[in-house]
Structures are given as C-alpha cells and as structure tokens.
Structure 1
Amino acid sequence: MENLGLGILSALLGIGMVVLAVLTHRASRTRQSLRHAYLGDCAGLFDNARLAAIPGRFPRLNGHYRGHLFDIQAVPDTLTFRKLPALWVLVTLPAPLPLRATLDFMVRSTGIEPFSNFQTLPDQIAPPPGFPEDCRLRTDDPTELPPQSVLIPHAAIFDDPRVKELVLSPKGLRITFLAEEANRGRYLIFRDAELGAVPLPRRDLVAHLDALVSLKADILDLEAAPERKSA
C-alpha cells in the first residue's frame, strides 16, 4: 500500500513537472511574441524599416526618417537596487560629425546605467546654462567642446521628464528615454518585472527623432561656418 502511494505521488509530481514545463514554454513564446511586436507601430515612421529579431531580447529597429538613418533599441533594466524595473529606449542617429570629443549629458545618474558609457568618460564638467540642475556632463576631452551657442538651444530636450541621456560624439547622436516601468503592485507582491507587453506608440518616438535631426543640422553648421567654433 505504501509503495502504491509513493507511485501515485511520483506520477503526480511527474505530471506537475510536465505541466509546468509546458506553461513555461508557452509563457516564453508569448513573451517573445510581445517583445517582437514592441517596436512594430514605430516601424511605420521609417522608410526601408528593418526589424531585427534577437532571441530572448527586444528587436532592433532601423530605417530612414526625414532622410536620416536611425537605430532604435529597447533595453530592460532590472537591477535589484532600482525601485522598479524599467525599459529604456535608445534613439541613435549614427553619422560622422565634425566633433572632436564625446559629450554625455545625464540626469539623475545612479552611477550604474546599463545602457550608457557615461561613467567611463574621464572628465566631469559643468553643463552649459539651461540644462536641468540635476544634469551631469562627462566628456573625454574638455578642451574640444562645441560652442555653447550650439548646445544651449537643445537643452529643451530634457523638458521631457522621461529623457535620461543625450550623447554627442564624432560618430553620431543619441537620446535615451524611459519608456515604461514595471507595475508597482505586481512587482512588489509577485516580483513580476515583465516589460514591453504594450507596443511603444510612435508618438513617443517622433519628438526625439526630430530633436536629433535638428541637433545634427546645427552641428554640421559648425563645419560650414567655422567661425562659430570660437563663439
């Protein structure tokens, strides 16, 4: 009788493990499907849009907007010291620019931003007037900064409280903004940190695309009007 009971228990455990494996597999497929669709609405903004699927991660979107090539990435941040897990979107305009230094403007820096190289830049300096009080500026060469007359008009990028970072470099430009935070109740009770279940609306992206196009134009004007470098 005892052996029969153990046999039934073992069978039930086996069935439970199979059911758990099936449910886990289904959840994984659902998660990947949702993530693949995350940038789907935004793809309509671009000419020759291309969504590159990355197993286990969010896809990467690139294409041309107003004649400029853009690269869009969604990066989850689930570091345990954060109040809530977050999903960041990196909007990058890769293009050679007449800059001799990298500038990284960061607001509310925690010291560990998984999407950024902010902490690796050696020099921290005061940002120009007009940038938020909690904004920090780091660079790899403080002697080669573009003139403040170019930078100050673009401080308005940080008027959007979701914007976290603005990067200018000889290789291109980037804005990083907060797209989503995990549901507080589900995270605190169930430790559910799932992000990206709802596609990113294209309206959340347009302003950042336009801001980088405008900033690129002003930087290129430096090359066309070199006397502004001393402004």
Structure 2
Amino acid sequence: MHLAGTGLVALFVIALGFIYWRDRNALKARRFKLFEACLALFDHHRLTQDAVNFPVLTGSYGGFDVRIEPLADHVVFRKIPSLWLLVTVKHALPMDGTFDLLARAQNVEFYSPSDSLQVRIATPDAWPRHTTLKADRPAAELPMNVLDPHVRTLFADPRSKELVVTRRGVRIVYQAHSGNRSEYLVMRSAAFREAHVPAALLRSLLDQAVAVCVDLAGGGAHARG
C-alpha cells in the first residue's frame, strides 16, 4: 500500500508538471504573437522573447532604427494593470537636454526618467492639464515651440502616457491594453489574454515619433531652444 501511495503521488506530481509546462508554453506562444499584424510595417525586424514575457520588436522603419518594448505594469495595488508600449525611434538630435512629458503622473512610473529629472517646468497653457513636464534644464533651453504641435496631437489620445526626447531620439509610451478587472481583483493576475497590437496603431505611434525626430533635426540650432 505504501508503494502504491508513493506511486500515485509521483504520478500526480508528474501530471502537475506537465500541465504547468503545457500552460507555460501556450502562454509564451500566445504572447509571441503580440506584433503578428505589424511585421509588414518594417524594412526588417527581429523579435526576441525572454521566458514567457511579451516579445521585444526591433528593426528599421522608414530608414529609422526602432525598438518597441511591451511592458506589463501592475505595480499599484487595486489598480487595473496596463500593458504599455515603449515605442522608441533612435536618431541623433540637435538638442542638449532631456524633455519628459508625463500624463497622469502617480510617482509609480518605474519605466519613466521623470524622477531623475530635477527641473519642473510649467506646462504651456495650450497643453493638457493632466501632464507633468520635467527636464534637466530650463524651458528656455528646450525646443518647446518645435514640440508644441506634436504634444497637442499625441496627448489628445487619452491612452498616451509619455513623450521623452533626448539627443539620442524619441520615445512614446502608450497604453496598448488594460487587464481584465474581475480576473485581476480576484486572482491578482495580469494575463492580458488575447492581447495584440493592430498595425494601424503601431504605424501611428511610429509616425508620430518619427515626425518629432524629423522636425527637431530640421530645426537645427533652432531646435536647441
């Protein structure tokens, strides 16, 4: 009887291990398809996936080197988790400072450089009231007039979270998905089931980031402030 019981326990452990392995592989495969509809946008691309995380997409878009990193955010207790897209266009820009415009700041945006920037700048009257502007230098040394139309367009969308501009390029942070409320409150699980990124959405975000780069680069010395 003892041997039979031990055998049943072993079989049970093996079955649990198989279920875990099956579900983990299914989750990994499902998440790998996040950008499935978007790949034709790129001149060339590469997808890299760490364990069961969402894949990071790098490649060339319209001649610009880009990186799109999904980031699952469930830091704030009782807040519905978000799946952010960190859309970065790499391009040398004629500006010396760092500009960070963050929407609905809650001091838990671990992906944002905002906390490390020491200069708080009053947002222009025409910009959304729910944004916080920080930099590493005064507003007079930043290309505020060049950025103005881009800020108004980008943050007219309530899912836009952040615009970061440095001498190395531009990053837009955008809420691609929010988690299932009931599942998260009960299970504390941020699964983002069936999450995918539409090609039209990613094209729009990339085009906006590229447009910022092009305008700043075209501004030359004027873009320095």
- TM-score, reference length from structure 1: 0.88
Residue 95 of structure 1 aligns with which residue? 91
Task: Give the length in aligned residue pairs.
Answer: 224
Q: Does 1:30 align with 2:56?
A: no
- SS of equivalent residue, structure 1 residue 96: coil
- Over the aligned positions, Cα root-mean-square deviation in angstroms equals 2.0
Q: Does 1:136 align with 2:157?
A: no
Give runs of aligned pairs for residues 197-212 of structure 1, distance below 5 A. Answer: 197-212=194-209
Tell me if structure 2 keeps the 8 A contact 1:105–1:136. Answer: yes
- SS of equivalent residue, structure 1 residue 159: coil
Deviation at 1:114, TM superposition (A): 2.6
The superposition leaves residues 105-139 of structure 1 with CA deviations (integer Å, 9 ceiling, x where unpaired) of 00111111132221111111112232210100111
Looking at structure 2, the residues matched to 227 and 210 of structure 1 have their Cα atoms a distance apart, in angstroms, of 22
1:158 to 138, 143, 155: 155
Task: Pick which of 88-97 and 108-117 moved more.
Answer: 108-117
Deviation at 1:99, TM superposition (A): 0.7
Looking at structure 2, the residues matched to 185 and 82 of structure 1 have their Cα atoms a distance apart, in angstroms, of 11
Residue 77 of structure 2 aligns with which residue? 81
The superposition leaves residues 142-162 of structure 1 with CA deviations (integer Å, 9 ceiling, x where unpaired) of 266334321211122101111
The superposition leaves residues 192-224 of structure 1 with CA deviations (integer Å, 9 ceiling, x where unpaired) of 32126332111121111111121112111221x
**In percent, how many aligned pairs have the same letter?**
32
Residue 17 of structure 2 aligns with which residue? 21
5+ residue gaps, structure 2:
none
Q: Does 1:56 align with 2:64?
A: no
Residue 117 of structure 1 aligns with which residue? 113
Deviation at 1:167, TM superposition (A): 0.4
Deviation at 1:227, TM superposition (A): 5.3
CA pair 128-15 structure 1, distance change in 2 beyond 3 A? same
The superposition leaves residues 48-95 of structure 1 with CA deviations (integer Å, 9 ceiling, x where unpaired) of 122223333222112222222211110111224251121110110011
Tell me if structure 1 keeps the 8 A contact 2:99–2:142. Answer: no
CA pair 128-143 structure 1, distance change in 2 beyond 3 A? closer
Looking at structure 1, the residues matched to 193 and 39 of structure 2 have their Cα atoms a distance apart, in angstroms, of 16
5+ residue gaps, structure 1:
none
Looking at structure 2, the residues matched to 191 and 7 of structure 1 have their Cα atoms a distance apart, in angstroms, of 39
